Copies of this chain bind each other. A is one copy, B any other.
Amino acid sequence: MKTDLDMLMTERGIDAVMILGNAENNPAMYYFTGGGHVTNAVLMIPRAGKPVLYCNAMERGEAEKSGLQTVPMRTAPMEELARNPAEFLRQAGLVTGRVAVMGHANVASAFHIADRIRAEVPSIALVGEEQERAMLLYAMETKDEAEVARIRAVGEITVEVVGKVQQYLTTRDVREDAVLLDEGGEPLTIRKVKRKIALWLAERGAADPEGCILSIGHDAGIPHSVGNPDDVFRLGETIVFDIFPAEAGGGYFYDFTRTWSLGFAHPDAQALYDEVSDAYRTIVENLDLNASFKEYNQLACDLFHKKGHATPMHAEGVVLDGYVHSLGHGVGLNIHERPFSRPTSSDDNRLKPGAVFTIEPGLYYPDRNMGVRIEDTYWVRPDGRIERLVEYPYDFVLQMKSPKASETSVRGARSAGDR
Contacts and interface: CB of A to CB of B under 8 A. Distances in A.
| Copies of this protein in the complex | 2
A58 B324 contact: yes
Nearest to A114: B128
A298 interface: no
Interface string A189-213: 0000001001101110101011101
A62 interface: yes
A131 B58 contact: no
Interface in A160-214: 195, 198-199, 201-203, 205, 207, 209-211, 213
B103 A107 contact: yes
Contacts of A222: 58-61
A194 to B, nearest CB: 9
A43 interface: no
Contacts of A393: none
A314 to B, nearest CB: 14
Contact of A131 (B78, B134, B312): B78
A385 interface: no
A291 B174 CA distance: 59
Given A74-B318, A318-B72, A21 B224 contact: no
Contact of A128 (B36, B110, B213, B318): B110
Contacts of A110: 107, 110-111, 128
A248 interface: yes
B129 A111 contact: yes
Contact of A112 (B106, B130, B207, B226): B130
A222 B60 CA distance: 8
A58 B109 contact: no
A249 interface: yes
Interface in A1-30: 20-22, 24-25, 28
The winner among A25, A72, A106, A213 for most chain B CB atoms within 10 A is A106
Contact of A101 (B107, B126, B225): B107
Contact of A202 (B57, B199, B211, B219): B199
B105 A224 contact: no
A37 B226 contact: yes
A104 B101 contact: no
B57 A318 contact: yes
Contacts of A207: 198, 207
A211 B249 contact: yes
Contact of A79 (B102, B131, B319): B131
A146 interface: no
A209 B224 CA distance: 22
A108 B130 CA distance: 7
Given A199-B203, A224-B58, A317 B74 contact: yes
Contact of A211 (B37, B129, B198, B318): B37
11 contacts: A25-B25, A28-B108, A36-B226, A56-B224, A74-B312, A79-B131, A103-B106, A103-B107, A108-B128, A195-B205, A199-B202
